[in-house]
Amino acid sequence: MANLKMTYCGVEFENPTVLASGVLGVTAASLRRVVELGAGGVTTKSIWMEEHKGHKNPTMFGTKEYFLNAVGLSDAGIEKARGLFDEYSEGGRPGPLIASVVAGKVSEFEKIAGEIVKLKPDVIEINISCPNVEDEFGVPFACEAGLAGEVVKVVRGVVGGAGSGVPPVIVKLSPNTPAIGAIASACAEAGADGFCAINTVGPGMAIDLKLRKPVLTNRVGGLSGPAIKPIAVKCVNDVWKATGLPVIGTGGVMTGEDAIEMMMAGATLVGIGTMVYYRGAEGFGEIVREMNEWCDANGVKDLSEIVGVVK
């Protein structure tokens, strides 16, 4: 059996699989169950300072090739998050807890970071894929290097510099930019400790042929699932080569071999979300087993050996 333990930004994970934000992260019980089923760690849904309603149903649609999601980052706000953290941490955390935070203004990122750090997450993930509501054209923070760096700088200022007792600050990047490496570099210069790449692709649209209208109430939604894996692998490789910082490779991972491919591209951990739609939460344990089988078959004794082997 290979050593599957991985250290990401100073935090140790039993194995590299991590529940991605927005999937099964609504309650502490669901997060705990994912770890019990084999995940090395978990990520909360993106947490807003105040309640955020999201979009009306139907918000999700899937086929064997892809999945569309237009939930709209619904969340009950920081008050409910406090209860989730307390419950998940009771008696000791079963696995590292990554707190994903989101906002529509730079000043709101500062506020939510100030509150979330009090809950002592193992890692803070800044979701910068939402539009900047103060911008005339609503450009997403993740699509402009200056904006992305500004968000990281204010969060870093609240959380504190890297060191003992300070949770690492990572940035969830969007693939919807031709220069993800440049965006990552700007975030690194502003103080990011690592990255999660990627968020959903698109948006995309599916049409109901009988009704002759979009399937989703919101018309469009973020694209995930098997179809986006090649894009995710390329983005992870770009971010890894541009910064050399640890990456959680996320997007289209369905199997152990998918996870191995993501790590060869430069990922230290592998974020898994849409897989649950196809294989169930039990898929985490199955993917870990598949990774072990691949390592045994290919003479890999420690997973760290393969991280970033593709230059």
Q: Give per-residue pLDDT as tens, 234-278.
A: 999 999 999 999 999 999 999 999 999 999 999 999 999 999 999
What is residue 135's predicted lDDT score, i.e. its pLDDT? 58
CA distance 248 to 8: 9
Q: Could you give the domains of the chain?
A: 6-95+186-306 (3.20.20.70)
Q: Which residue has the tokens 């307390």?
A: 86
Q: Which residues pair with 125 in a beta bridge?
A: 100, 170
Distance CA 73, CA 50 (A): 12
Does 60 have pLDDT greater than 60?
Answer: yes
What does the angle CA 139 – CA 116 – CA 14 come to, to the nearest 5 degrees? Answer: 100
Residue 55 half-sphere exposure toward CB, CA atoms < 13 A:
16
- What would the pLDDT profile of 150-197 be if each residue is shown by its tens digit? 999 999 999 987 666 899 999 999 999 999 999 999 999 999 999 999
Given a cut of 60, whether residue 80 has pLDDT beyond it is yes
Between 259 and 104, the more confident residue is: 259
pLDDT of residue 131: 65
Catalytic residue among 130, 187, 235, 295: 130
Residue 24: pLDDT band (50, 70, 90) is confident
- Can you give the length of the chain in residues? 311
Mean pLDDT in residue range 112-129? 95
Nearest Cα neighbor of 225 from 247, 239, 206 is: 206
Reply yes or no on whether the pLDDT at 310 is more than 60.
Answer: yes
- From CA 84, how far away is CA 29, in angstroms rounded? 9
For helices 106-116 and 145-159, the axis angle rounded to 10 degrees is 30
* Angstrom distance (rounded) from CA 288 to CA 309: 20
pLDDT reported for residue 197: 96
Annotated catalytic residue 130 = yes
Report the share of the chain in percent with pLDDT over 90.
Answer: 82
The mean pLDDT value of the chain amounts to 93
Mean pLDDT throughout 14-27? Answer: 89
> Rounded CA gap, 27 and 86, in Å?
11
Query: In a 10 Å sphere around its CB, with 0-12 CB exposed, 13-18 middle and 19+ buried, how is residue 14 labelled?
Result: middle
pLDDT of residue 137: 52
Q: Which helix (H) or strand (E) holds 43?
A: strand 41-43
* Nearest-angstrom CA–CA distance, 26 and 304: 31
Helix axes 256-265, 283-298, angle to 10 degrees: 70
Can you give the C-alpha Rg of the chain in angstroms?
A: 18
- Using alpha carbons only, give the angle 108, 110, 112 rounded to the nearest 5 degrees: 70
Phi, psi of 15 (to 5 degrees): -155, 165
Q: Which pLDDT value is given to residue 50?
A: 85
Rounded to whole angstroms, the Cα distance separating 94 from 39 reads 10
DSSP H helical segments within the chain, as ranges?
A: 28-36, 78-89, 106-116, 145-159, 180-190, 229-243, 256-265, 275-279, 283-298
CB 275 within 8 A of CB 232: no
Distance of CA 173 to the CA centre of its chain: 9
> Tokens 């509150």 belong to which residue?
115
Residue 225: CB atoms within 10 Å: 24
Closest CA to 149 of 120, 123, 126, 117: 126
Question: Where does the pLDDT of residue 52 fall: very low under 50, low under 70, confident under 90, or very high at 90 and above?
Answer: confident
Going by C-alpha positions, the residue among 290, 249, 248, 253 that lies closest to residue 274 is 253
Token output for 155: 């969060």
Tell which wins on pLDDT, 139 or 299: 299
